[in-house]
Structure formats: structure tokens, C-alpha cells
A and B are shown apart, each in its own frame.
Chain A
Amino acid sequence: MRKQTLSLLMVLVVSVGIAALPQSKPPTIKIPFETYALSNGLTVILAPDDATPTVAVTMWYHVGSKNEMPGRTGFAHLFEHVMFTGAGHTPYGIHDKLTEGVGGSNNGTTSNDRTTYFETVPSNYLEDALWLESDRMGFLLDTLDIGKLNAQRDIVKNERRQGVDNQPYGLADEILSGAIFPPSHPYSWPVIGSMKDLSAASEEDVKNFFRLYYAPNNAFLSIAGDFQPAQAKRWVTKYFGEFPRGKAITRPSAPPVTLDRETRLVFEDRVQVPRLYVVWPTAGEKSDDRFALTVLDSITAGPRTTRLTKALVYDEQSATSIGTRQDSSEDVGVWSLEITPRPGHSLTELEAAADAIIEKLKNEGPTMEEIQRATAGMEFAFVSQLQSNLGKSMTLADGAGFHNNPGYFQTEYQKMLAVTPADVKRVANKYLTKGRVVLSVVPMGKLDEASKPAESKPFKRVEQ
């Protein structure tokens, strides 16, 4: 993420993650769009809607941290920052001036799988936004130098310090990814990268990365909002049509992971309250199991009648908060449980209590009413998302990039609606097995506050 404006993305994540009411009639609302490709391979998606006089442009590249090599972690995200430092005809600063400076906004995000750039502008600035995006796709290297790279490197190191190193519990996600995936697996390293690897990135790395991955055949341009499609097509051809197709890309192998046993870790952090994390490898974006896994997380934690929340926060009152979540990356997923105890209750006690509840759910399966409660919010979330031109352009780009179908959100919605109690029972038994990672984060010097301390191996931080 180039800037620390997170609120919009949080909203989007929430609205995509919630599920649906099986018995209600599916909403008839659609996003009207058309899609086509230029001869150089650039996929274009147009979704006109004049309800608000803005246009959102999403430029989606199919490259993320999984395309990195060990020893060069964090590179895809560092590169995202370099993309804002100006290009051949667009000097540094003009990008902000023609977006934020005219009442719009811009940002970028990098995940394991993709890098997304986006701007929202008043509708009369659409051509400018396309000019900006095309210049950095076609001419980034014309003005690149090591000074620009170094400046962004320092900023990214500060992004890491702010989001990870100087945050209580901030290192937990990295420890967990590193423990679930073998070191050679491309999901084993964090998107933000390590300090050491960030220091190692060279100008030549930037150039090679750009030439391979930032070619039109690896890109998806999605435009939503107040514009005329015919005119937008002319501008897209004008600014992107002349770029040559890039080389064929070999995608990294990121196979599903199964763990044959439990890994137990404990990490001492600058915190006063301990916290327990339990994580299982599951299915990703391409597997239909993820729908039932998502419904499963809505049944286990959240509102007060979900199973773990009801038992541990309300009835036994041994926990102060509980969260569960299915995260679906392109190739694999992760299902995670996070528990913060009330004073006087140990992580060992909480782990056992949570396990018993999950075991019961695996044996009995959920009730139909639980499924209904879990999915009823999806219709609102789905319709609500249509209010944002940026939300629409990103949803369409994700569908195009991951599923070769900008309208994939409709399929996703229907599949979420179709989840049954038997589906949830099946995925719970298939994935929530003994092959998992259990991490206790404890106050400094309090290793004995870990869950089952004698069986938990202290995690030693490698110098970043």
C-alpha cells in the first residue's frame, strides 16, 4: 500500500467476505459491463454508471509476492512504490496533482497474488487518469534511477516498522505463514518482505521485474462510473494500443499444503495481554470449498450467538474477544482462529475449550438456522458495494484477473447462497484437522503463559 488510507479497502474486504441467505430470492442487481481485449493482450472492462460524477480506474497486474524469489522478498510491494515516482512523460508529482489535486484519490495495494493501482477522479479527468496509467506501463524505466529506488526503500522500511515491528502482536502473521508453508512455498514469506531483502533489491531487479510483469498481456484495466464507453475505448486505444505484448510468464507453483502434525510455537512480544492463534491451511480462490469455509467462519465467531463467541465470551466469560477468518489467496487459503483471554484464564484452557466446540461442530454440523444467520447479511453487502465506483471497478478486475470473468462476483454470490449444513460439516472435517499451527504470543519473560508451554517451541526472531 502506498499510502496509509485503509478505510475504503476495509469496507471492500468486509463486503466481499460476508455470505448469503439460502432461502431468500437472489438479488437481481447486476453490474452492467462490457469487456474486450486489445491485440497486445490488455484486458479492458467498462462499467458505465452516471449516479455519481466520478470515474474509478483500476489497473490490475497479475503479479504479487509469490512471484518473488527467497532472498528478494518484499520486491513486488517495493516495486508498487516505485510506480508512483514518475515515468517517461509524467514527472514525479503529476500523478497526485491530477488525482488528489483535482478532488480525487489514488493508491495501490500488493498481495501475494496481484498488484492493484487505482484512482478515482472527477469524471472530466478520465483521459488524464488513462494517460497516467499508460505512461507508467509503457515508460517507467525511462526515468528510473537508483536514487528513486533508495528513497522508496526507506519509506517501505518505515511502512514495515509501522505495521509490523512497532505494533503489539504485529509479527504474528509472519510467524504463522512461515510455519504453515515450507520455506520454498511462495506463500511462506510476507508481502512486505524482510528488511535484509529490501536492502538487497537492485536497479537491475526493478528493470527485469518491470519488463516481465508490467506488460499489457499481464494487465487488466477496469473503468467504472460516469463516462461514455465509446470515448473511453478511443482513449484506451490511444494510450495503450501501441505497447508491445510482453514475454510469456511462468507462474510459480503454489500447491495446496497439508500438515501431518501440529506445530506449536510461543513468541515473546512487548505486550501485557497474551493471545492465542490457531491456523489451518485450507482452500484458495480457485476452490469451491472456500464458500463453505467462509460460511463456517461466520458461524464460529462474530455476533453473540455464534458458537465460539457465545461459549467463551458470553457463557464462560473466559475470553475477551474471539475472531475466526477464512482468507482465500489465489492458490491456497488459511483458516484462522484468534483468542484474547480475560485475566485469570490461561491460553491452555482456552485452546481446549475452543477445540471442544470445533469438534462438536465437526461431529454435528451446523443447523440450517445458523447458515441462514451467517448468510443473511450478504444481500445488503452485495448491493451496498455497488454504491462505490471504485468498489465496482476492483470487483470486476479481480474477477477478470483471477477467474477470467469480470462477472465472477455473480457466480461467487450464487455459490455462497447454495452452501448447505452438510457442506460446512464436510469442510470443517476436511480442513480443521490436527495438522495445524498453534502460536501463543506472550509478554516478555512469560513463556509459561503459552498454551501448553512445555510443548511449545520459542520462536526466535531472525534479525531483520
Chain B
Amino acid sequence: MKQRQYFALLRRSLAALLLTCIVSSAQQTLDRSKIPPPGKLAALRVPAWTRSTLANGAEFVVSEKHDLPLVSFAITIQGGRSLAEAASRRGIASLTTAMMSEGTKARDGEALSNALQLLGTSVRISIGDESGSIGFQSTSSKFPQALDILADMLVNPAFPVEALERLRAQQLVALTQGKDRPQTIASRVFQKVVYGVAHPFGQTDTEESLKAITRDDVVAFHKAYFQPGRALVTVVGDVNSTAVKATIEKALAAWPKGGEKPQFAYPALPPTHAATIFLVDKPGAPQSIFLIGNPGPPRSTPDYYALQVMNTMLGGMFQSRLNANIREEKGYSYGVSSSFGFGKGPGAFRTGGDIVAAKSDAALVEFIKELRGIGGSRPITDEEIATAKDSLIQRLPGTFASVQSVNSAIVSLWTQGLPDNYYQQYASKVSDIRKDDVLRVAKQYIDLDHLSIVIVGDRASIEAPLKATGIASISLLDIEGNSKGP
């Protein structure tokens, strides 16, 4: 090794000389205890996009990206199952989207499936709480053909009634299987106790609601939901902006005008209750599933950035307070975290994880300690807040890697009503957050006196220890979230 460096020195090029000095001094005195100083941070490169409107009234965004021959296409619909589904028809959104793959007037289900398989793609249709989408990714050469099939599925679904019965039966089995899964039980019970059954967020599909759905319901839901007046059409990737718009106009020519963006008028939240442990018995379970939280603010809150910084410190990273304590220090879990729902409605603040049964009480004490801590009882260090902000800010440049991630970045601005320069402003908004902002939002949005603490686990071994913590009274629920009495 030294021989080679000496040889390099003889070349007498200034660059080689400098380089050799650096390398050799590093090797002779390599001090591994010093953190290598990072280089200059790469500039943020936000992809460019252009906005316009299609003839049918849908908003349209195209973003060219030519490094690989790929395209991501999506039609996103404003509004989702929380307000579009009637309480008595919970589950209709997912049944409708599944029915759209069951054939069109021109292609039966098998012809549709074969055509998509041969194009090497699949059309994904889904409806979430507050928005839905139909889209696909493909190589650029297959894009026009895949688009034509998508348009056929969107505009001309046949909705064969035999398919409805098959899909319904499959969803009923999935519902039954969910009742065996403690994480699924915890999630459903949490929504119910936090929002109540009168609020859309507190409702889920049931055997009863799935069985009530008719083909007419599906036809009506499809017609009312998939309308261009509430849609954003996005295409990202190896396309020409002008040509692709013409291609899309032609493909979607039969999609009739109509519809408008929905109002997100949610009913009032139920009255708060004193902090309560909602215990669901899962006899013999080796772990207890924890979900702790309360309704949260919408994405439009001016406190969004402070909440993001606060949550990153609390439970948004591996070394955040909750995981560093409950997993790494105590070893009670494989991982715990926290998050805010951030949508149009009062999406929940929640924290939790899967806790070894024998430490359920000790873990509850630590969860509450950390929630209290972030609100002021454990001071925020300069390093802690700086790391949280660095993590949030420096994550952004790497998020525009794929055609799909660029597409999602554009869509989320639209669904959340954010400006086109959102990504350019992001760093300065996060940088502006100070410790007192973090403290204020922690106190304001984590309501310690009214928490819902859902625990799904082995009642026989964990109930008494949980009670002995004195943190909250215990209410026993069945796996549907209904009261089982004291």
C-alpha cells in the first residue's frame, strides 16, 4: 500500500500530489472516533409539472421524467368511503372497486385479465377514507393500450351479478379472518371508542352491511363516485406533455361530464370521556396490542409543521423517545411508534405497538410517561429538535425517485389543498419550528385526560396489573368494541 502511494507521488501532478497526501495522512493517522464531516447537501430538485383541464372537466397534471421508459397514470377522486358510504352499506366502496375488474360491456372478466397480463400491468382501483383512485404503471410502450383498458373499466363496467355474490362471500371470509388477528381487532375497536358509532370514522363494514349491498347499490355508487368534476388526472414519466394529453382526452372521451368536489362536512365528535383502558380479551395471547390516542387536527391546521417535528421526536423515528425507551432500553416490544392521521377530517393521533404480555402494565406506564414528557416534563434538547428537523427536511430530495412517487407527491398536494410551491417551502417551514412550538402542540393535541387506551390481550394475566398502575379505569369490550360490562 505504501509503495503505491510513493509511486503516485512521483507523477508530480498537483492533483495527484494533493490526493496522495490526503490518502496517506488518513491511513497513517485514521482517527475513527471522529465523525466524517458530511459533504455539501445536494440542492432540492422538485420535478416540474404543468396543470390544465380536460374537456370533461377533470383537472389534469403532466410531469415528464425520461430517465427510464416508465409511466405512472392515475385518476384520483376527491372524497372517500368515510362520507360516500351510507352507514348501512359500509363496505360498498371496496365491493364496487372489485366489481370494476369483473368485466366491461366489451370484455368479460377473463378477457380483461388476459389483456392486462399480456401488457405486463394491472389496473389498481381503491377507495380510501377521503380519496380514491384508479391507475396503473407500465412501460411507456404499453401505456396507450393500458390506458384504453382502464377507460373501459372506468366507463363501461358490466357489474355481473354473479360476481357480486362471489366477491361478497370473499369479503365475508376476510372479515371473519380479521377477527382472529389481534392487530385488526385493536384497530377496529380504537376507531369505535374514539369516534363513536355515529361518526363515519367509528363505523366499519360488518356482516350485516356487506349482506345488504345489492347490484343496484353498486351501480349507483359507481355512477355518483367516479365523476370527472371531482377528479384529478395525473401522468408522470416518459411521455410528451402535449401528445399525452391528446391521447388521454381521446381515451376518456366517453367519460361523461359531471360531479363536483365534495364538502367534507363531518358530524361533531362525541363528548370526550375520562381516560379509559378499553380491554379486549384474547385468551392466551403472548403479546398485548396497544393503541392509544384521541381525535386529531385536520391537515389544514397551521400547527402541521410543529406537529410533525413533535411527532418525529416522540415516535416518528427509530431513536424517537417512545421506541428508544420501550423497545431499545426496556425490550418490551419489537417496535412502537406514533402518528397523526392528517386528512380533511379529525384523523387520530395514535401511538402503540405489540407488547410482551408480562410487561403490559410496565409498558403502559412508559407510554404515559413519554406522552407527558413531550408535553413538558422531559425537556427537549437542542440536539433532539435539530435531528428531528434534519430528518424531515433532508428526506425530501430523495422522495422523487420513481414515477410513482412523483405522481403521489403531485396528488397529495391536490387532495390536501396545498400550493404548487409546497415542496420548495417545506424546509423553511420546518426550520422555523422552535421548542416552545413543540411543547405547545404536544399539550394541545395529546389529550392526556381523555385518552382512549385500547389493549387487546390475555385478560386473565394483564387486567389486574393494568388496574394496579392506577392510570385509568378499565372498560371490558368484546372484539366488536361493544361493552361487556364491568
In the bound complex, residues from chain B placing their C-beta under 8 Å from that of A131 are 32, 35-36
> How close is B268's CB to chain A, nearest CB, in angstroms?
36
| Given the contacts A103-B395, A123-B42, A387-B402, A272 and B177 also touching, CB distance less than 8 Å | yes
B319 contacts A101, C-beta separation under 8 Å: yes
A388 contacts B401, C-beta separation under 8 Å: yes
- Residues of B373-415 whose CB lies within 8 A of A: 387, 390-398, 400-403
A124 contacts B39, C-beta separation under 8 Å: yes
- Residues of A17-43 whose CB lies within 8 A of B: 21, 29
Interface flags for B33-72 (1: CB within 8 Å of A; 0: not) read 1011011111101000000000000000000000111100
Please, which residue of chain B has its CB at the minimum distance from the CB of A125?
A: B38
Stretch in B112-120, B245-253, B269-277 touching the partner: B112-120
> How close is B429's CB to chain A, nearest CB, in angstroms?
16
Cβ-based interface call for A378 (8 A): yes
Cβ-based interface call for A158 (8 A): yes
Provide the bound-state CA to CA distance between A129 and B401, in Å. Answer: 20
With beta carbons under 8 angstroms apart, the residue of B36, B118, B393 that contacts A103 is B393
Interface residues of B, CB < 8 Å — how many? 81
| Given the contacts A151-B331, A238-B23, A383 and B318 also touching, CB distance less than 8 Å | no
Name, among B137, B170, B355, the residue most crowded by chain A CB atoms within 10 Å (CB to CB): B170
> How close is B239's CB to chain A, nearest CB, in angstroms?
15
Provide the bound-state CA to CA distance between A104 and B397, in Å. Answer: 10
A94 contacts B35, C-beta separation under 8 Å: yes
In the bound complex, residues from chain B placing their C-beta under 8 Å from that of A54 are 397-398, 401
In the bound complex, residues from chain A placing their C-beta under 8 Å from that of B327 are 155, 158
Cβ-based interface call for B265 (8 A): no
Interface flags for A39-72 (1: CB within 8 Å of B; 0: not) read 0000000000001111000000000000000000
Cβ-based interface call for B259 (8 A): no
B120 contacts A100, C-beta separation under 8 Å: no
Cβ-based interface call for B26 (8 A): yes
- Residues of B319-374 whose CB lies within 8 A of A: 319, 327-329, 331-335, 354-356
- Residues of B113-153 whose CB lies within 8 A of A: 113-114, 116-122, 137-139, 142
B118 contacts A373, C-beta separation under 8 Å: yes
A168 contacts B177, C-beta separation under 8 Å: yes
Count of A-B residue pairs with CB < 8 Å:
229
A376 contacts B118, C-beta separation under 8 Å: yes
Cβ-based interface call for B27 (8 A): yes
Cβ-based interface call for A404 (8 A): no
With beta carbons under 8 angstroms apart, the residue of A29, A127, A161 that contacts B68 is A29
- Residues of A293-315 whose CB lies within 8 A of B: 303-305, 310, 313-314
In the bound complex, residues from chain B placing their C-beta under 8 Å from that of A305 are 110, 113-114, 117
| Given the contacts A102-B394, A273-B176, A89 and B356 also touching, CB distance less than 8 Å | no
In the bound complex, residues from chain B placing their C-beta under 8 Å from that of A155 are 327-328, 331, 333-334
In the bound complex, residues from chain B placing their C-beta under 8 Å from that of A188 are none
Provide the bound-state CA to CA distance between A159 and B177, in Å. Answer: 22
> How close is B145's CB to chain A, nearest CB, in angstroms?
12
In the bound complex, residues from chain A placing their C-beta under 8 Å from that of B354 are 158, 161-162, 166
Cβ-based interface call for A354 (8 A): no
- Residues of A377-420 whose CB lies within 8 A of B: 377-381, 383-384, 386-389
| Given the contacts A52-B401, A100-B317, A103-B396, A271 and B391 also touching, CB distance less than 8 Å | no
Name, among A128, A272, A304, the residue most crowded by chain B CB atoms within 10 Å (CB to CB): A304
B397 contacts A378, C-beta separation under 8 Å: no
Cβ-based interface call for A457 (8 A): no
B394 contacts A342, C-beta separation under 8 Å: no
Cβ-based interface call for B211 (8 A): no
> Which 6 pairs of residues, A with B, have the shortest CB-CB distance?
A103-B394, A154-B331, A53-B42, A124-B39, A103-B395, A89-B32
Q: Interface of B with A (CB < 8 Å)?
A: 1, 19, 22-23, 26-27, 30, 32-33, 35-36, 38-43, 45, 67-70, 109-110, 113-114, 116-122, 137-139, 142, 166, 169-170, 172-174, 176-177, 179-182, 284-287, 317-319, 327-329, 331-335, 354-356, 387, 390-398, 400-403
Please list 30 pairs of residues, one from A and one from B, whose beta carbons are closer than 8 Å in the complex, sorted by A's number.
A4-B334, A52-B401, A53-B42, A53-B45, A97-B387, A101-B391, A103-B392, A103-B393, A103-B398, A122-B38, A122-B398, A128-B38, A151-B329, A154-B331, A155-B328, A155-B331, A158-B334, A161-B354, A168-B177, A303-B114, A303-B122, A305-B113, A305-B114, A320-B174, A343-B169, A373-B117, A377-B117, A380-B120, A384-B70, A384-B402
Q: Interface of A with B (CB < 8 Å)?
A: 3-4, 21, 29, 51-54, 88-89, 93-94, 96-98, 100-104, 120, 122-128, 131, 134-135, 139, 150-151, 153-155, 157-159, 161-163, 165-168, 226, 234, 237-239, 241-242, 270-273, 303-305, 310, 313-314, 317, 320-321, 340, 342-343, 372-374, 376-381, 383-384, 386-389
